[in-house]
Amino acid sequence: MAVQLILNQQTQTAGKGVPVKIHTTDIDSETLAQLHKMSKLGFIHSHIAVMPDAHMGKGATVGSVIATKNAIIPAAVGVDIGCGMNAIRLSLKAHQLPDNLSTLRNAIERMVPVGFAQHRQVLAKASTLAPLDKRLRLITDKHPALRRMLRQFDATWQKQLGTLGGGNHFIEICLDESDDVWVMLHSGSRGIGNVIGSYFIERAKKEAQDRFGRAPDSDLSYFVEGSSSFDDYMQAVEWAQEYAFHNRREMMRVILEAMRPLLPKFFATKEAINCHHNYVQRELHFGEMVFVTRKGAISAQQDEYGIIPGSMGAKSYIVKGRGNADSFCSCSHGAGRRMSRAKAKLLFNQQDLIEQTQGVECRKDKGVLDEIPAAYKDIDSVMANQQDLIEVVHTLRQVLCIKG
């Protein structure tokens, strides 16, 4: 059940704040302080909803759902615009996978660039590229500085379609409770999304509009609906969200192509889910059309399917939404970090990583130590705290994981 926490009771009656409804008690003081600042924004609709995987982010809390009227905060969407998940169930059982999963991992790693890498040539079809290119040119014609922020601008965004990226992005092969095989991946809008996000975040800071009052933090700077910057940002962010969707779809195609020679012939895909968890869109809530920003949260409308991954070595879930109004029909996007990457590297060593990822074919070197399972919240507790938001359809355990 949600824990309703009114962070600013003293200013509530003066109309200077909104309630914050949190679906966990596992939340630190720094994150609460950040939510306190967010609650003071004068354009928040009804309240702020906080998911059970919440933790401190840049400007806005990761795991927060912010419904706004007549304004949008670019930093709340962030720089990995449209980051999200894609999962496909295959017509294969666990026993049909190769005995040595390292051959499968190597095959995928050869085909899917990770980190800052990109494909040597453009893989996406013209039917995908042409509409994206046309719309992007409309954006960069108005904001030519965007092209100077990304090396080999056009070649890069086109060649990065179908690539993973780094950080917490991953590709996994998982098994569900019936030993069905799933392919799951986590990625976003790559370099072009970062450029768009960074550019408009800085533009919002410089404009520092205060129609609804001065933002309590520069990273909460906003655009006001009706302004040219608002319109341009919405055009750009919608483009980046679509790009991220196509990136995941193209990557899934490449992954399946890499797997086919090593698996029984004619395996088919049975179902697919492709969902964002860093994005903004217009929705109807509490009788009004508002802009809903989900920063590290996914949509969980009634009967809508979603994906909630755990960390390396932990369970993941295919879920179905319950349409909970107080969460703005949302749920968590994963387990959520318990500690920073720097702290994880200080507290744990390579042997800890080996032990915590036992039974999973994956990298076990110091380069991914910041992604060790202990750096994340316990996924079972996170799931227990959102039973009123979603129902579990499938429980997945990974047997192979590729990190950027």
Residue matched to tokens 């990304």? 150
Q: What kind and span of H or E run contains 110?
A: helix 101-111
The annotation places the binding site for GMP at: 168-172, 277-278, 309-312, 316, 333-336, 403
Going residue by residue through the chain, which has 404 residues, state the pLDDT in tens, using 9 for 90 and above.
444 554 433 333 234 689 999 999 999 999 999 999 999 999 999 999 999 999 999 889 999 999 999 999 999 999 999 999 999 999 999 999 999 999 999 999 999 999 999 999 999 999 999 999 999 999 999 999 999 999 999 999 999 999 999 999 999 999 999 999 999 999 999 999 999 999 999 999 998 777 888 888 999 999 999 999 999 999 999 999 999 999 999 999 999 999 999 998 878 888 789 999 999 999 999 999 999 999 999 999 999 999 999 998 899 999 999 999 999 999 999 999 999 999 999 999 999 999 999 999 999 999 999 999 999 999 999 999 999 999 999 999 999 999 97
Q: What kind and span of H or E run contains 27?
A: none
- Its pTM stands at 0.94
Give the SS3 label for residue 330.
strand
Q: What pLDDT, on a 0 to 100 scale, did the predictor assign at position 5? A: 53
Tell which CATH classification among 3.90.1170.30, 3.90.1860.10, 3.40.50.300, 2.120.10.90 matches the domain 3-338+376-403: 3.90.1860.10
Q: What pLDDT, on a 0 to 100 scale, did the predictor assign at position 269? A: 87
Q: What pLDDT, on a 0 to 100 scale, did the predictor assign at position 15? A: 43
Active site residues: 333
Q: What pLDDT, on a 0 to 100 scale, did the predictor assign at position 144? A: 98
Q: How far apart are CA 76 and CA 55, in angstroms?
A: 13
Q: Work out the number of other CB atoms within 10 angstroms of the CB of residue 381.
A: 14
* Alpha helices for 264-397 (secondary structure H): 341-347, 350-356, 379-384
Q: What pLDDT, on a 0 to 100 scale, did the predictor assign at position 3? A: 46
Residue 238 to residues 6, 7, 345: CA-CA distances in angstroms? 33, 32, 36
Cβ–Cβ under 8 Å, residues 146 and 196 = yes
Cβ–Cβ under 8 Å, residues 83 and 89 = no
Q: Where in the chain are the domains?
A: 3-338+376-403
Q: How far apart are CA 166 and CA 62, in angstroms?
A: 18
Provide φ and ψ at 60, rounded to 5°.
Answer: -115, 150
Order across the sheet with 269-276: list the strands. Answer: 269-276, 84-93, 180-187, 170-175, 390-403, 316-321, 305-308
Q: Which residues contact 263 (CB under 8 A, 6 or more apart)?
A: 92, 96, 97, 98
Give the SS3 label for residue 161.
coil
Phi-psi region of 297 (alpha: psi -120 to 50; beta: other; left: phi over 0): beta
Residue (of 181, 92, 178, 192) closest to 149 by Cα position: 192
Q: Which residues contact 237 (CB under 8 A, 6 or more apart)?
A: 74, 77, 81, 196, 200, 279, 280
> Cα torsion at 27, 83, 92, 177 (round to 10°)?
10
Q: What pLDDT, on a 0 to 100 scale, did the predictor assign at position 11? A: 30
Cβ–Cβ under 8 Å, residues 336 and 382 = yes
End-to-end Cα, the chain, rounded Å: 35
Cβ–Cβ under 8 Å, residues 209 and 160 = no
Q: Work out the number of other CB atoms within 10 angstroms of the CB of residue 269.
A: 12
Q: What pLDDT, on a 0 to 100 scale, did the predictor assign at position 363? A: 95
Q: What pLDDT, on a 0 to 100 scale, did the predictor assign at position 16? A: 65
Residue 384, burial from CB neighbour count under 10 angstroms (0-12, 13-18, 19+)? exposed
The annotation places the binding site for Mn(2+) at: 80, 169, 186, 277
Q: How many helices and strands in the chain, by DSSP H and E?
A: 12, 17
Give the SS3 label for residue 349.
coil
Residue 212 to residues 165, 222, 340: CA-CA distances in angstroms? 37, 10, 33
Q: What pLDDT, on a 0 to 100 scale, did the predictor assign at position 179? A: 97
